[in-house]
Chain A
Amino acid sequence: MTEKLVVEDLYKIFGPKPERAMELLRQGYDKNEIFARTGNTVGVREASFSVQEGEVFVIMGLSGSGKSTMVRMLNRLIEPSYGHVYLDGQDITQMSQSELIAMRRQDMSMVFQSFALLPHKTVAENAAFGLDVSGHSAAEQREKALRALEAVGLAPNADSYPDELSGGMKQRVGLARALATDPTILLMDEAFSALDPLIRTEMQDELLRLQQEHSRTVVFISHDLDEAMRIGDRIAIMEGGSVVQIGTPEEIVSNPANEYVRSFFYGVDVSQVYSAGDIADRRRVTVIQRPGMDLRSALGRIQNYAGDIGVIIDRNRRFQGLVSAESLTRAIRQSPGGDYPDAFLEGVRTVAADTSISDVLGMAAESEYPLVVVDEEGRYSGTISQSTLLLTLDRTQQA
């Protein structure tokens, strides 16, 4: 994992004469006092974090916490007042206007809360917007736009106009527009917040699916805890312009940095809110079933990772069965050239990713082995052991 985007001591102070406000900030005054004294608004203060290549990094906070300002400083739609943003080691804040434009055309694209589609252009033309701006030929624009639309499942609507689409479809166009230029970083500003809950979940799944096919670096802005937990590899929580905590969803839930962070989880009944897919543990060793991979190598992998149980999936990530070190050894002893099914544990139960945790509880209690969570197409998305469940429930009590 390399660091794709590094934010270093970033400040944004709105209003004239930011120097004075900066001076007061150094002396430890807070946002409201500075506004009262100088009339300057502190948008973001002393933000530092790094985003790894290929991860979904969620910046979460309530409105006014500076998260939208934050994401706009990453591509300099808003000029940072102080600090640096490095993309692959290159300082974005020092770029000239033309370098900046080239960077926006090649490396970063953005998805907006209210879609920001052009009503006078067709879906395909909208999706091709970034390519049009950077001067690609009409044929190339069309081809790449169609490919991007295909990726989000909107190819049949290529020649419709945005006002003929529903909200969710419009945002798919927004997503296709961002993907068409094949950027390395995707900035998503409350991209799904304007959609109704059902469509929102659908779009989150869509994003996760796109990430599985081709993982990009995504910086996702959200005010929604569920959303952050579902899609975020790591979450940064912002309050009053500062980043108060950065960590994986588990870290943040189990060890909130302060009351503000804790308050996000307050009163949330995890067993009702979360589905099996949300708490599924993806860290178990997976072994892809393919010719040339025999029982012995699987055993090697499991022992390497100090695990006791491994998951066998096929090339499309479809779940095949669970094996343990013990069952593998037994199968090898019986027939050394045998196949995986010989070693599959019996009595393993699978649950759909959208089953709520309260429904999973009983099954987990009865089952000898971890429950295997699969999505609607039978693809493996994690396991739930009894201890995972207990930990999840325990966090609710803490919060």
Chain B
Amino acid sequence: MQEEGSEQQALGPLDQLRSWVNEQVLERITIGDWIESLVDWISANLEPLLVGIEATIRALVDVTEAALLYPLWITAVFVILGAWLKLGRKAGGIALVAAAAVFSLGFFSEAAKALLWFSPPWMLALLVVVAGLWRVGWRFALFAAVAVGLIFSMELWPETIRTLSLVVASSIAALIIGLPIGVAMSRSNRVEMVVRPILDLMQTMPPFVYLIPAAIFFGLGTVPGAIATLIFAMPPAVRLTNLGIRQVSQEHVEAGQAFGCTPRQLLFKIQLPLAAPSIMQGINQTIMLALSMVVIASMIGAGGLGATVLTGIQRLQVGLGFEGGLAVVFLAILLDRISQSFGQRRRGQGSGWGLLQWFFRGRQAGDKSAA
């Protein structure tokens, strides 16, 4: 009798506790509702911010697409900029006039105009093959030629360009946001502690999930696709930047400090160049993730090769789906090998980072002495 009684007494509080936990804690945690109200609140109150983001991303995507469609313009801009930065204002001016002269040929000859102002699609294809030859080797250039030829024969070139421009634009945006975060992470353990779980979340969340808020905030089309892509593709760049900088040997950092580097000089002259292979690996990963996400983003109307695959699925056209998929594979291989080649150090050429640095910082030392 006594035993039964004590048993009941023991069960009583446990049940009470359980129902209390259910009512007071578990039922009140409604993550889905919270997220929805957060999304509602954002779209109701942060309209100007959303419009700003949309305009920025749209401009980036448009510029990238234009640059890819008319590669000669962008080449001209780079030549002029390069001449100006490396050789001085006068050389830049001469290059500008020369480029203007070449492009003004278009006013006199229809053929020149077609070639220069509205360069035909094969121009970019040629550039891809040449880039493969320069960065990787002749075998790869041969493969690139075959791949590009097949894409043309499948009549998927415009879609490929669309996908490529989305990939490039969202990768650029992801790097602009991600690299500084990676640098900040490497400099402070506290920042790393905060950012790391967020990156885990970004990477493990099924990519389709990003499409929903992106579509709510920005409607359907290219921009939400690019935004979902940049979120999904950013983590590796952040992670590998952080890791690369943290792995720079203690003695190299000490050498920098011992010769009187300011923290900023230490970052740009020691840490980033030595972390370059790792950072390049991160950039490569970002590009590859962006490619896989862009295909998925076609579900909210981002267009490109993903749309081709989607059509194939919806109409059960195996051939069309396979063609779209194959084009994605070719694009992936080309992007991967060419972007990876920038991470490998070549003696005398430096890494891709060094190349960029050379391009943009070439005259700095000279300028300082003049000042």
Contacts and interface: CB of A to CB of B under 8 A. Distances in A.
Given A105-B259, A120-B273, A137 B249 contact: no
B368 A116 contact: no
Interface residues of A, number: 34
Interface in B267-300: 269-270, 273-274, 276
Interface of A: 72, 75, 77, 101-105, 108-110, 112-114, 116, 118-120, 129-130, 132-138, 140-141, 161, 163, 177, 181, 187
A102 B366 contact: no
B347 interface: yes
B276 A116 contact: no
Interface in B224-277: 249, 251-252, 254-262, 265, 269-270, 273-274, 276
B278 to A, nearest CB: 14
B354 interface: yes
Nearest to B354: A120
Contact of B252 (A72, A116, A177): A116
Interface in B323-371: 345, 347-348, 350-351, 354, 365-366, 368-369
B365 A120 contact: no
17 contacts: A77-B258, A101-B260, A103-B260, A104-B259, A105-B260, A110-B259, A114-B251, A116-B249, A116-B252, A120-B351, A129-B259, A133-B259, A137-B368, A137-B369, A138-B366, A138-B369, A181-B259
A309 B347 CA distance: 59
A160 to B, nearest CB: 9
Contact of B276 (A101, A105, A120, A161): A120
How many chain B residues sit at the interface, stated as a range, is 20 to 34
Contacts of B366: 137-138
Interface of B: 249, 251-252, 254-262, 265, 269-270, 273-274, 276, 345, 347-348, 350-351, 354, 365-366, 368-369
Contacts of B274: 118-120
**Across the A-B interface, the 4 shortest Cβ-Cβ residue pairs:** A137-B369, A105-B260, A104-B260, A116-B255
Between A119, A120, A135, the greatest number of chain B beta carbons within 10 A of the residue's beta carbon is seen for: A120
A141 B365 CA distance: 9
Contacts of A140: 369
B260 A113 contact: no
A283 to B, nearest CB: 35
Contacts of A108: 258
Nearest to A136: B369
Contacts of B258: 75, 77, 104, 108-110, 187
Counting chain B CB atoms within 10 Å of each CB, the highest count among A103, A104, A177 belongs to A104
A118 B261 CA distance: 14
A75 B274 CA distance: 24
Contacts of B254: 72, 77, 110, 112, 116
A358 B351 CA distance: 55
Contacts of A138: 365-366, 369
